[in-house]
Chains A and B, each alone.
Chain A
Amino acid sequence: MSAGKDTKGTVINIQHFCYNDGPGLRTVVFVKGCSLKCRWCGNPESISPVPQLAYEKRDCMGCDKCGLCLRSKFGKDYLERDDEGVVSLKEGAREFFDNESIKCCPAGALSVYGEEKTVAQVISEVDKDIPYYRGNGGGITVSGGEPLLQPEFTAELLKAAHAHGYSTAIETASNVPWENMAMVLPFVDTVLHDIKIFDTDRHRYFTGVDNKRILYNLKRAYKEFTNKTFIARTPIIHKVNDDDENIKATLDFILPHPNVVEYELLPYHKLGFGKYRALGQECPSDEFEAPSKERLEKLREVISEAFAYRDKINYLRGGNENECEGGQRAYKEA
């Protein structure tokens, strides 16, 4: 077992007091690396699997007051003072930074996204939240990035979490080899999974990959892990995936599976855009926006009616182990 707890993963951060990422109060572990590249992505630091240098010029104290980084080993080669008297990065800085030199920045203008951590290290941080899980079914959620791209780490972490008595959840886009999923799911109680766009071509256009593997994985997971709870989610963006057809196709896909208990729409936001600047990357265009409040409400209504209808049919049929047709008909009749 101790070998398991030494398994390492690349973690962006651990966030406490979360309540929208699974049942009860949750501690969310964000891991690094994603196999999608969504055009609207709000978490650019989660895409690359390796640690990345971040520089927030706004926070630099200025070379006259500080200048500590310029005197570091790394700074001598890769940092310089610019015309405004603050630090700027030279060629190669983002490839060759070293952690120790970055730590000297007292203002936090220079920092690193991502750090290698063992399961034991992460779980000891999660343990601090024990008093807050009791009575509400709370626990740990591994999110990302894509937790299934580090399957050994995620599986060991969730195994350890179960051993400590916490409920477990993952947030996944499911674009991974089936083996990865099969390795992790036995230790997951709640699977929060995205279905970003149902149409394959559109999916490819907006996320860089098609969704065939995603849908295959999900369908198989629904069928093979009947005792798990699945929650489907769509980051909802105006004119990308907020059309009736997309929502209905997604409902069609999930409703036959009674272990998919919820379908959530998460309105798009731009809160992560500052991070692009820190990473030296270009911000995604401004073309994306959340649907109007009315539109969102309308879609949520369609979803809740469809689920209610499915549950009713299911109930009348005495409940079905794995599939139910009621759901498929739900919105058609509604």
Chain B
Amino acid sequence: MSVKVDNELIKKLRDEVVGRELKIDFQRTDILAEVYKEYEGYPQIIIRARFLERLLKEKKIYIDDYAFVGNLAGEFGAFYLYPEWKNDWIKSEDRFPIPEEKKQQVNELFDYWEKRSVPYRSFEVFEELYGEDYHKYSETGFLTSVQSPSGVSTLNYRRAIGEGLESLIAEAEKNLSELELSAENQEKFYFYKAVIIELKAVIEYAHRYSRLVEELAAKETDPDRKNELLTIAEVTKHVPGKGARSFREALQAHLFLHTTAQLEQVGCGYASGYLGQVFEPYYQKDKAEGKITEEEATYLLKHHFLKLNDISYYYGRDYDIMNSGDTAQTINIGGLTPDGRDATGDVDSFILDAQLDLRLPQPPLALVYHEKLKPEFVQKAVDLVKTGIGMPQFMNSDVLIERSLDAYGRYGADLKQARRTCVCGCVSTAIEGKTAYIMGPSVNIAKAIELALYNGVDPTTGIQVGPQTGDAENFKDYEEFYEAFKVQLDNGIKAARRYEKVNNFLFSEFLEVPYRSSLIEGSLERGKSIWKGGSLYTATATTYNGGVDAANALVAIRELVYNNKTVSIAELKKALDADFEGYEILQRQLINVPKHGNAIPEVEEVVSRVYTDAFDAFQKEGNNFVGQYGKPDAYSKSMHNYFGRLTGALPTGKKKGAALTDGSVSAQPGTDISGPTALVSSAALSVDSVAYNSTHLNVKVNPVTLKSEKGSAALISLINGFVKQGGNHIQFNCVDAETLKDAKLHPDKHRDLVVRVAGFSAYFTKLHEGIQDELIARTEHELAV
């Protein structure tokens, strides 16, 4: 079963993936319409199971040049439609126009789901239960409305790959056979039935590939290719039904299991836990038996990664702005073993090697960072940072462990389990294979500033969103203003939590996910899907955005309105209404007020206060839909851009429609002017990253910084400093020449851009034009190396 390393092939496959043009594959919707008609009247969990079964049985499959088989859709570069998960976009869609002959069917299907889908019904149920129209929150950009189709959670790949799906089926069958038929057990009965239908279908799906490959092999004349095809046939006969026997089988099993979850529901956040460590024993065994080399293992990983990059989805433009098409199939590396040793394996290192070569968006790598990591491994991670792809993200192992103990210790999680906490999605964390996520909306904290200024009315739309907290012009002091802000924020968070529960209520009513549930620990034992609390632990993904913008606005108001009396609230509102046209001085003064990211205690305590109050507001609404303790998340993805477009001018100097601050403890663009250490300290200290389920810092670094050995060492010192201060998640963006060019044209947006050359550092925008050009040229040159 030897592997022939073909780097030309990798190059070709990479070009194909990068250059692919997305297109719709209608087969999923065809089958969806068919199965829902055929099984009308059956419990919905059974319909869901029959649907997945049919899809796996009939979906178009194909063989290409990859060492592995199995794709999400039936064609390279294609994506399926998921109208049952999100259907509010198709009618106004112009990016992927529906061909004439498909229009009627697709429209009918989307109409059918409109009445039965979560977004539509959620408004209705929300109004029924709470007596207010949720549209006012979503249309003003305070909260998001769309339920986020998302896979945030990690499946228990260790077991599924190691024992094979037959073992899970056996467990389900055993539990089903022992089930006494009773009203109480009715749901369990259907759950087990659904799981068995689906898992069997996945095994049969792999066998379809096996047969197809055998047919091709019989016709193949090239002996090498024939051999390769026969290998694939052998592998797919075995996995994922039975436990993997080799490194190659483990990778193939993962691809089957991983893509199947996304046939049930696709979206952002199907992270794979510490996948390299799942593969590690197979690699070690193969290596010991002389069946594989480091080079071959890395080569196979590249095939695997390239396939992950072809997984695509599309839910319309709005969703695209929020998520930028990201699939966040994060792989965790590093971390600790359950007994507290460094868990990093050889495969973790190959994963870095593979991305050093491929430099593709998927899979994002999360390095769970601790002091026991080997220096050479950390150095390799820094080498990857230097490529400018922003990977890996560095996660503080201590914080992750403490956080999981805080959230799940009350439900039995112990230290051993907590040490397997990983990124599940792109930023959030959970215990690998044991935690399910239920989705909630996102909250735009900065909107509460607007509402406090305008007595609960959104200034852009004129909609009364929040309670009337009074005319801000009459507030006596800063504290009174803050109080109004807090009332508005509390009200928004309350609505968000309620909407989160409505969403989950509806998910479990309409859209069960038995397959995914069966692969998360707890569900098979409890006989319940994850929407109903089947998994051992259930986290809540209600995310906060714009916290830093709100805090910066509060500081600016405190300083300029109440302390220095530079401007009155009335005047400030006029400036905001005018989007600072004619109020350029005030805009500059607002920008000049000290901002988050400069390690100024008087500023950071405001950031901290905002996040603490937002946390408390979250907890006021109690546990999540399945009754477990939830924590808010603070990260933006591309949501800061989405919300920014719906937010007017802010007292931070932000213009109407401009993006909010990214991450959750990053600095407002151009305002962290005290260097990286101040930014990193501010980020680490301004939010309780154990209490929160996530916080996120992006740091911009000039590639020149990282070029030298000393530069790498400095970067590691920066990470260490962040971690020691309790920071959670730090990630580096190397600033490329394009940014420098933009900085030259728009210096205001890039005031914080520091460039370093031979011991001398300077703010880029302060440099002479000619020198700027020189640096642009130099940076381009150095990036090309």
Contacts and interface: CB of A to CB of B under 8 A. Distances in A.
Nearest to B755: A271
Contacts of B711: 19
B774 to A, nearest CB: 8
| The 9 nearest A-B residue pairs measured at CB | A106-B588, A20-B759, A16-B675, A131-B721, A132-B721, A274-B768, A19-B714, A16-B677, A25-B717
A17 B677 contact: yes
Interface string A42-82: 10000000000000100001000110100000000000000
Contacts of A20: 710, 758-759
Nearest to A276: B768
B324 interface: no
A128 B759 contact: no
A267 interface: yes
A71 to B, nearest CB: 11
Contacts of A270: 768, 770-771, 774
Interface in A129-178: 129, 131-136, 138
B709 to A, nearest CB: 10
Contacts of A135: 717, 720
27 contacts: A15-B761, A16-B677, A16-B678, A17-B677, A17-B714, A20-B758, A25-B713, A25-B718, A42-B760, A61-B584, A61-B585, A68-B585, A106-B585, A129-B677, A131-B720, A132-B717, A133-B717, A134-B720, A134-B724, A136-B713, A266-B758, A270-B771, A270-B774, A271-B762, A272-B760, A273-B771, A277-B768
Interface in B746-761: 757-761
B759 A21 contact: yes
Interface of A: 15-21, 24-25, 27, 42, 56, 61, 65-66, 68, 106-108, 128-129, 131-136, 138, 266-267, 269-274, 277
B195 interface: no
Interface string B433-469: 0000000000000000000000000000000000000
Given A18-B759, A65-B585, 17 more contacts: A15-B761, A16-B674, A17-B676, A19-B711, A19-B713, A56-B766, A61-B588, A128-B599, A129-B677, A133-B717, A134-B720, A135-B717, A138-B717, A266-B758, A270-B771, A271-B762, A273-B771
A17 B768 CA distance: 23
A94 B155 CA distance: 68
Nearest to B684: A131
B674 A106 contact: no
Contacts of A18: 759, 761
A42 B589 CA distance: 31
Contacts of A61: 584-585, 588
A138 B721 CA distance: 12
Interface string B56-83: 0000000000000000000000000000
A124 B126 CA distance: 53
B568 interface: no
Nearest to A62: B584
B757 A16 contact: no
Nearest to B586: A106
Interface in B736-782: 757-762, 766-768, 770-771, 774
Interface in B555-594: 584-585, 588-589, 592
Contact of A66 (B585, B599, B760, B767): B585
B760 A132 contact: no
Interface centre among A24, A128, A131 (most CB of B within 10 A): A131
Nearest to B674: A16
B769 to A, nearest CB: 9
Nearest to A66: B585
Nearest to B601: A128
B518 interface: no
Contacts of A16: 674-678
B681 interface: yes
B725 interface: yes
Given A266-B758, A269-B757, A269-B758, A132 B584 contact: no
Interface in B580-639: 584-585, 588-589, 592, 599
Interface centre among A17, A66, A131, A136 (most CB of B within 10 A): A17
Contacts of B588: 61, 66, 106-107
Interface centre among B674, B714, B774 (most CB of A within 10 A): B714
Nearest to B709: A19
A17 B713 contact: no
A133 B717 CA distance: 7
Contact of B714 (A25, A68, A108, A266): A25
B767 A274 contact: yes
A132 B718 contact: yes
A15 B717 contact: no
Given A17-B714, A131-B721, A131-B725, A272 B762 contact: yes
Contacts of A17: 675-677, 714, 718
Nearest to A133: B717
A28 B758 CA distance: 15
Nearest to B774: A270
Contacts of B674: 16
Contacts of B681: 128, 131
Contact of A266 (B675, B759, B762, B774): B759
A66 B584 contact: yes
A324 B770 CA distance: 47
Nearest to B719: A132
Contacts of B677: 16-17, 25, 27, 128-129, 132
A132 B713 CA distance: 11
Contacts of A108: 592
A17 B592 CA distance: 23
A133 B681 CA distance: 13
B749 to A, nearest CB: 14
B683 to A, nearest CB: 12
Interface in B680-719: 681, 710-711, 713-714, 717-718
